[in-house]
A and B are shown apart, each in its own frame.
Chain A
């Protein structure tokens, strides 16, 4: 009798989790299709983006993401920035660098000033639809914040951020990290994701770059529970650089970039929707969600 009950509960939970995965995949497929020009960006507006590089394309993408966050019930905002060029003499020739980061806040259910920041860059290289680099990162974080919003209890505030201009020396995230510092925000940790849609060897492995020790432990625990292999790499090759520079506890999540199981189409016109491994994306999404859920439940907080 007991084994029958266990069998039934297994079936039910498997069914629920499968349904949940399908939901996440559908959500992520839709977001990726819109960001990469497979579908119109805004329903009924006949705008198709084939890259997110020029100023107007990035602005359109930012508006799309802002509206998506609003629709998900988050307190959303745009962080506009303008700054001098990399070399001062260029200021005599070119206009200031400008861009916009988009963020959504999911407040804690208890009073706290502490924030967990997680995000991904939404811009792409010129000429590239930027499906894996980095519409996948955007879709990952979007799905995670939506799942977190369904939790009954969150002991920390969550902020999802979509960064502009990562492809130009991470300008967007640098400006955002500076703003966090200036605003005196209490930051528990920062999680950035870039390139999370390629898994040719089918091992579902992730690379965690320069993680703060307590974050590495958290991710390792959850990855082990999900059977996801983890590789730790050094340095900073994406938006995590900006947050490390400001001294925030940081972790970057990606496919096996240094282990050579990463999209060969990076920064090319072939980085398209059809090359994305949505099963892998959903698997990494589940990992990040479980980590966030752990943090939300006040476990393993420092």
Chain B
């Protein structure tokens, strides 16, 4: 029987922000973010419950995706900080400490999942 360990929880927690984001956009009539979130999470859930080889590979890809996502967020923040001309004020407004905490969360999740995927 499979036992849940802390890395499993980390994996599930790493889904939460993108799923929440998907629902936020669904409320205002945009399906795209939820569609992306569902495709990613369902593929991952399916793979994680499949054989071990696939499970490790899937978690690795998910971890890498999270790392790339956090890097994209960091790059955007830095670029806008260097030259924010032409960038909408409401975008700049969102680059606050909460945005950076979230980025850090994705970075750590991605890193840990890639490193510890065999302990899942």
Contact = CB atoms under 8 A, between A and B. Distances in A.
Interface in B74-97: 76, 88-94
Nearest to A52: B89
Contacts of A99: 90
Interface in B1-32: 18, 21, 24-25, 27-28, 30, 32
A55 B93 contact: yes
A129 to B, nearest CB: 14
Is the contact region of chain A dominated by helix, strand, or loop, or is it mixed? loop
Given A55-B90, A165-B90, A93 B72 contact: yes
Contacts of A28: none
30 contacts: A53-B89, A54-B89, A54-B93, A55-B93, A82-B28, A83-B28, A84-B30, A86-B88, A88-B32, A91-B25, A91-B30, A91-B32, A92-B18, A92-B33, A92-B36, A93-B72, A94-B94, A95-B24, A95-B94, A96-B24, A96-B25, A96-B30, A97-B88, A98-B90, A99-B90, A125-B89, A165-B90, A167-B89, A168-B88, A169-B88
Contacts of A82: 27-28
Contacts of B24: 95-96
Contacts of A125: 89
Is the contact region of chain B dominated by helix, strand, or loop, or is it mixed? helix
A88 B31 CA distance: 11
Interface of B: 18, 21, 24-25, 27-28, 30, 32-33, 36, 72-73, 76, 88-94
B19 to A, nearest CB: 12
A279 interface: no
Interface string A157-171: 000000001011100
Going nearest first, the 3 A-B pairs with the smallest beta carbon separation are A168-B88, A84-B30, A82-B28
B25 A168 contact: no
A92 B30 CA distance: 11
A37 interface: no
Interface residues of A, number: 26
Nearest to B36: A92
Given A88-B32, A91-B30, A91-B33, A126 B92 contact: yes
B40 to A, nearest CB: 10
A83 B76 CA distance: 21
B120 to A, nearest CB: 25
A126 B92 CA distance: 9
Contact of B89 (A83, A85, A95, A168): A168
B25 A53 contact: no
| Centre residue among B18, B27, B33, B72 by max chain A CB count within 10 A | B33
A15 B27 CA distance: 57
A83 B24 CA distance: 10
Contacts of A88: 30, 32
Contacts of A92: 18, 21, 33, 36
Contact of B91 (A84, A94, A167): A94
Contacts of B27: 82
A97 B110 CA distance: 28
Nearest to B33: A91
Contacts of A165: 89-90
A83 B88 CA distance: 14
Interface in A89-108: 90-99
Nearest to B98: A95
